[in-house]
Structure formats: structure tokens, C-alpha cells
Chains A and B, each alone.
Chain A
Amino acid sequence: DVVMTQSPLSLPVTLGQPASISCRSSQSLVHSDGNTYLNWFQQRPGQSPRRLIYKVSNRDSGVPDRFSGSGSGTDFTLKISRVEAEDVGVYYCMQGAHWPRTFGQGTKVEIK
């Protein structure tokens, strides 16, 4: 199975400051169709996950532009340009290039 490793696992951030989460995969996430299937999800406390970013850097409809995704191959990053209170929660990366689909362990973002 492809192992997805996130860091850090806990991220205390000051409101208005940037935040960055790393996600590394044990194998390349470039599919034979040419796409790179790396997605990011946000799970606020007590809520279901919500997809923020798909295929590395495509922001979902309604997702604030302070969220951005980047990376290639096995190394990916989710950035929040200026953290707001509503961004508190756990963030997961997920790979869709290989079976079985696998998630990172999650990064808990909290306000300092």
C-alpha cells in the first residue's frame, strides 16, 4: 500500500499568519493517465470531511483562495496564506493513484 506521511501532526498557528502542511507518499502519485491524484480534505470538529483541493492544486468551488495546493511526484504541500478561526480542524491528504486509496494521518490545526 502507498503510505502517506503528513507533517507536522499538530500545527498551532496565530490568527492571520500562514500555515503549511506537508504530505509525502511512498510512491509517485502520477497515474498512467498523466494525472496526479493527490487530494486535500478538511474536517472541522464534529463535521464530515470536506474536499478542499483535488489533483494537487485545483481548489474546489466555495473554497477560499487562501487555501492552495502544490507539489509533484511524491512531495505535496497545502498552504493557508492567512489562518482564520474557521480553519481549525484536521487536514488530510489522500492519494487516488493506487489501490487501495490511502490517507495521511491527519494534521490538527489549532489557534495559538
Chain B
Amino acid sequence: EVQLVESGGGLVQPGGSLRLSCAASGLIFSSYTMNWVRQAPGKGLEWISSISSSGSDTFYADSVKGRFTISRDNAKDSLYLQMNSLKAEDTAVYYCARGPSALIDFWGQGTLVTVSS
């Protein structure tokens, strides 16, 4: 059974940093492009970043470019999102999702990030 389990969310002050993790199981993690998609409270879905299976290629939405960094450790079957210079508008549930970004198929349960003073 495929599982994607996000962790690392929490309350952080504006301007602060947070690192999200996504632990994958039940799949050959190193074979898949992985993604982060977020959902602000009561709002829709926003793709924010993707990383190729090897980690050599990364892609970002303009809203997070220069502040967020996606990375992965295939030896640990894990995906990461380093979030710096956080703003109130970054408050959202962050989902780890599998698949080429054009065909995202499987999602984790999400982790909530709240940016507030």
C-alpha cells in the first residue's frame, strides 16, 4: 500500500523558517517525480514545487521561488520542503504528492503550516 506521510508543520512567526518532510512507503520512491501542493484554509489547491526522480531538476511556483527549496533523499525514501522567509499567506495545509506534475496521482494526508505572530 502506497503511503505518503508529511510532518514538520506547525506555528511559525512571519519571517521564520520551517522544514517539511514526507516519508514514502509502498512505492519505488526513486522512480517518481514528487511534488508539493498546498491548500490555504477553506481555499483551493495550489501547486508549489516539483522535483525529478533523481533530484537534478526542480521547479517552483513564482509565489515561493527564492524562499522555498525542494529536495529529496532517495536512500531514505523522503521528500523535503525547506521554507524560509515565511509570510502569513503561506498558511496552508501542505500536501506531498506523487507523480509527474502533469499527472499527479497520489497525495499524502497533509501537514498544517500556520504563519502568525
Residues of A bordering B, CB below 8 Å = 31, 37, 39, 41, 48-51, 54-55, 60, 92, 94, 96-97, 99-106
Contacts and interface: CB of A to CB of B under 8 A. Distances in A.
- For chain B, what secondary structure do more than half of its interface residues adopt (helix, strand, loop), or is it mixed? mixed
Q: How large is the interface on B (under 10, 10 to 19, 20 to 34, 35 or more residues)?
A: 20 to 34
A55 B104 CA distance: 11
A96 to B, nearest CB: 3
Contacts, number: 52
Nearest to B47: A101
19 contacts: A39-B103, A39-B104, A48-B95, A48-B107, A48-B110, A49-B107, A54-B103, A92-B44, A94-B104, A96-B100, A99-B59, A100-B61, A101-B47, A101-B101, A101-B104, A103-B45, A103-B46, A104-B44, A105-B44
